[in-house]
């Protein structure tokens, strides 16, 4: 979707505010929100692409006003409602619905390190033909899907060169909507800065994006 989250190349966002000796969390609630999101992920009711899309669905004005971890609260509530782990009445009252089933087992403390250490690899050991190889000239397709996509607007329609084939990976545009993994080749694609931003960009500079087969066409 052409949302506010897709902000590469935008102007007007202000100066970068650097904080020296920044703490990992600025308040205890931020730490709890991170932990709640990770612990709830252990139910495997959603996936990382769905979590990103849930944040993209926050209305643009809200998105800009919220801090990072406030967006994570909104996302956790959205996903929990979608997955029916919570009801709207429960979110509003803060109390379990009368007679609601108690699920188990929740992620245990002993399960935390193995879960984080394992992560959730996105590569898939399946044979899928690659449409491109290193050195091929490609054009990022001029598409504007209304759902989740990892093809930023600033690269659409632009010419690039395949720098490397990473192998076969889950396609976020499908998995974010629980429409299957649709695994396909993922490439590192080099775009000259001048192709993206015009003649004022430095001649030497470039931007590399990781793009899936379905985002690309032969140039």
By CB under 8 A, tell whether 50 contacts another protein. no
Q: Tell me the window of 30-38, 130-138, 177-185 that interacts with another protein (CB under 8 A).
A: 30-38
DSSP annotation of 146: S
Using DSSP, state whether 27 is helix, strand or coil. coil
Phi first, then psi, for residue 159 (nearest 5°) are -90, 135
Which tokens hold the place of 49? 């692409």
Of 175, 181, 176, 207, give the one whose Cα is nearest residue 194: 207
Site string for another protein, 143-162 (x = CB under 8 A): -------xxx-x--------
Neighbours of 41 (CB within 10 A): 18
Q: Tell me the window of 5-13, 126-134, 173-181 that interacts with another protein (CB under 8 A).
A: 5-13
Distance of closest approach, residue 52 Cβ to another protein, in angstroms = 6
Distance of closest approach, residue 81 Cβ to another protein, in angstroms = 12
Q: Tell me the window of 39-47, 128-136, 173-181 that interacts with another protein (CB under 8 A).
A: 39-47
Distance of closest approach, residue 169 Cβ to another protein, in angstroms = 7
DSSP H or E stretch at residue 212:
strand 206-212
By CB under 8 A, tell whether 84 contacts another protein. no
Cα 96 to Cα 10, 50, 73, 86: the distances in Å are 43, 25, 18, 8
By CB under 8 A, tell whether 60 contacts another protein. no
Neighbours of 82 (CB within 10 A): 14
Q: Which of 57, 81, 82, 85 binds another protein (CB under 8 A)?
A: 85
Which tokens hold the place of 123? 């590569």
Distance of closest approach, residue 16 Cβ to another protein, in angstroms = 5
By CB under 8 A, tell whether 130 contacts another protein. no
By CB under 8 A, tell whether 128 contacts another protein. no
Residues 64-83 that bind another protein (CB under 8 A): 64-68, 70, 73, 76-77
Of 87, 124, 120, 146, give the one whose Cα is nearest residue 212: 124
Distance of closest approach, residue 130 Cβ to another protein, in angstroms = 15
Cα 24 to Cα 34, 85, 136: the distances in Å are 11, 29, 42
The whole-angstrom distance between residue 3's C-alpha and the CA centroid of its chain comes to 13
Q: How many residues bind another protein (CB under 8 A)?
A: 98
Q: Which of 44, 98, 99, 109 binds another protein (CB under 8 A)?
A: 109
């Amino acid at each position: 979707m052409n949302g506010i989250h897709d902000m590469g190349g935008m102007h007007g966002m202000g100066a970068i505010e650097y904080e020296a000796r920044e703490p990992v969390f600025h308040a205890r609630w931020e730490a709890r929100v991170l932990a709640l999101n990770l612990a709830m992920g252990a139910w495997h009711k959603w996936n990382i692409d769905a979590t990103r899309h849930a944040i993209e669905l926050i209305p643009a004005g809200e998105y800009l006003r919220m801090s990072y971890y406030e967006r994570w609260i909104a996302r956790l509530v959205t996903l929990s409602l979608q997955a029916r782990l919570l009801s709207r009445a429960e979110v509003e009252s803060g109390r379990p619905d009368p007679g609601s089933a108690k699920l188990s087992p929740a992620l245990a403390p002993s399960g935390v390190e193995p879960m984080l250490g394992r992560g959730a690899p996105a590569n898939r050991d399946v044979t899928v033909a690659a449409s491109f190889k290193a050195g091929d000239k490609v054009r990022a397709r001029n598409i504007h899907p209304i759902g989740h996509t990892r093809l930023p607007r600033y690269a659409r329609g632009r010419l690039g060169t395949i720098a490397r084939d990473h192998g076969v990976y889950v396609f976020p545009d499908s998995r974010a909507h629980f429409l299957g993994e649709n695994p396909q080749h993922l490439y590192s694609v080099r775009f000259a800065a001048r192709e993206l931003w015009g003649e004022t960009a430095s001649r030497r500079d470039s931007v590399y994006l990781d793009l899936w087969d379905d985002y690309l066409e032969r140039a």
